[in-house]
Amino acid sequence: MKLTFKDYISIKIHKTDLNLTSYIKARLDKFNLAPEQNLIMMLLWERDGLTQNQLATFLHKDKTNIARMVSSLEQKGFIRRTHCPDDRRSLELYLTPCGKKLGEKVMPIAEEFDKTVCEGLSNEELAELDRLLSIINKNVTTSKE
């Protein structure tokens, strides 16, 4: 039996991703912060001093994309880049006072966003969703190779 447009799980996931991105983008606009830039900031609010390579690994993004986003965040005054003392080719990223203050405003929004997304789901359902998404991600990443 042939699938119809509404039957494809990949389309449902894509639609969900678009809705999630649109929702958080609207809430971050007033802070001059794009959703993908926010991911970098969230990692730095959690652990200041990460390298660009570490960010690329955590976010599964290519180094060029990370460098472009980092440059934009630096121009906005949220972070500063410094050379690693052990490896001059590597750059460590640190929050500026402005970037730290931004975290005080944005993290409550991120937490509220997560609460909204998870509303009505039990801990067991969230664990199952995590398990299922992990399988889907594994299927997609191993099929590329």
Q: With 0-12 CB in 10 A as exposed, 13-18 as middle and 19+ as buried, what is 100?
A: middle
Q: Look up residue 15 and give its two tokens.
A: 């639609």
Q: With 0-12 CB in 10 A as exposed, 13-18 as middle and 19+ as buried, what is 125?
A: exposed
Q: What angle do CA 141, 65, 27 make, to 5 degrees?
A: 95
Q: Specify if 137 maps to a domain.
A: no
Q: Specify if 101 maps to a domain.
A: yes
Q: How far is CA 51 from CA 83, 125, 138, in A?
A: 9, 34, 26
Q: Considering its fold, how many domains does the chain have in total?
A: 1
- Which residues 6+ apart lie within 8 Å of 53 measured at CB? 63, 90
Q: Specify if 141 maps to a domain.
A: no
Q: Specify if 53 maps to a domain.
A: yes
Q: How far apart are CA 107 and CA 113, in angstroms?
A: 10
Residue 18's CATH number: 1.10.10.10
Give the residue among 9, 50, 6, 25 at the shortest CA–CA distance from 137: 9
Q: Specify if 134 maps to a domain.
A: no
Q: Specify if 128 maps to a domain.
A: no
Q: How far is CA 24 from CA 59, 85, 110, 136, in A?
A: 17, 36, 8, 23
Q: Tell me the whole-structure pTM to 2 decimals.
A: 0.86
Q: Specify if 119 maps to a domain.
A: no
Domain hosting residue 88, numbered range:
5-112
pLDDT confidence of residue 84 = 74
Give the residue among 45, 55, 48 at the shortest CA–CA distance from 104: 45
Q: Specify if 50 maps to a domain.
A: yes
Q: What is the pLDDT along the chain (145 residues), one digit of tens a residue?
A: 788 888 899 999 999 999 999 999 999 999 999 999 999 999 999 999 999 999 999 999 999 999 999 999 999 999 999 887 777 677 899 999 999 999 999 999 999 999 999 999 999 999 999 999 999 999 988 866 5
H-type alpha helices, the chain:
9-28, 35-46, 52-59, 63-75, 97-118, 123-143
